[in-house]
Structure 1
Amino acid sequence: MSEPCILGIDPGVSGGIAFYFPGHPAQIAAFDMPAAASAVDPVTLAARVRQFAPSVAIVERVGAMPGQGVSSTFKFGTAFGAVIGVLAAMQVPTHLAAPGRWKKHFGLGADKDQSRALALRLWPSSDAFARKMDHNRAEAALLARFAAETGIGGAYG
């Protein structure tokens, strides 16, 4: 049997995906959400999922934000649906985690740069979080680590 891999996803067109191997906690593979024409690219996302073959996925459970326009809400919902659809089609067991739940686990607040700073400390040899705009990659990586540390879906770290 291959080594367990946990996929963490910060959904949305500008989101991030990360593959975490609990047996090697110092290593992380984190990427921007595959996107084309301002939408999630499900074919490329599926190829990346196939490449790493995660045993479980954890996706941030998010909803519309106050003041967000109808068009933005629809675009985000479509992106979330594409992510869930790819995972379902590939038969990857998927769990959802509310932002408050996984962020509380790490002592984080709403500031996304706090997530990036923590990711830089946890994975100092990775260059995946080097840019300020890499906060979504960081949140995806932290979601995967959260799943490992809490045993979500049998993903034990």
Structure 2
Amino acid sequence: MKFIGIDPGITGAVAIINSSKIQLIDSPIFQIKTKKKPDIAGYYQILKQYTEDSTAIIEEVHAMPGQGGVSGFNFGTAFGIWIGILAALEIPYEFVSPQKWKRQMGVKGEKDESRTVAFQLFPHLADQLNLKKHHNRADALLMAEYCKRRFSIDG
């Protein structure tokens, strides 16, 4: 079984846990001048190899207070693309609120706390989580682990 965690932001990440390995993949983007845009084909390429015997958790996100209209729209676009690709590839998925997965995984603080918990659970991945900007990878990894704990027959 493969367990997928998706942090759906434009600069989000995907983590895949299966019996033989763990993969951390930054969400593919392309840049037009100073604007980052989701690479839809890149999203598809990541997920198409996991259509069998997989389940996914995607963070249930909402517009944030104070978030500008353009950034909120871009964020929602990336979120919708992930959902569309999961549905098109028939990969079962569930939404989980940040509060729920963080509580279950022992994350008490904000972004950098996810990295700390991920370091503790997966010390062999420290080189892929070592920068502050890697908090999205840590979030995706902890969501994949949450998914594994939630749906694994072994528990």
Same fold (TM over 0.5): yes
Deviations 1:71-91 (A, max 9, x none): 111111111011111111111
Work out which of the residue numbers 43, 46, 52 in structure 1 matches 2:44.
46
**What's the TM-score, normalizing by structure 1?**
0.87
Work out which of the residue numbers 12, 24, 27 in structure 1 matches 2:9.
12
| Misfit runs of 4+, over 6 Å | none
Inter-partner Cα distance in structure 1 for 2:153 and 2:39: 27
Residue 50 of structure 1, CA deviation: 2.2
Q: Which amino acid aligns with 1:30?
A: L
5+ long unaligned stretches in structure 1: none
Deviations 1:98-124 (A, max 9, x none): 001011112213411110111112111
Identical residues among aligned pairs (%):
39
**What's the TM-score, normalizing by structure 2?**
0.88
Residue 66 of structure 1, CA deviation: 0.6
User: How many residues were matched structurally?
Assistant: 149
Asked whether the equivalents of residues 147 and 155 of structure 1 are also in contact (C-alpha less than 8 Å), the reply is no
Larger strand proportion of the pair: 2
Structure 1 range deviating more: 105-114 or 4-13 = 105-114
Q: Does 2:140 match 1:140?
A: yes
- Aligned partner of residue 101 in structure 1, secondary structure: helix
Cα 1:13–1:156 change in 2 (3 A) is farther
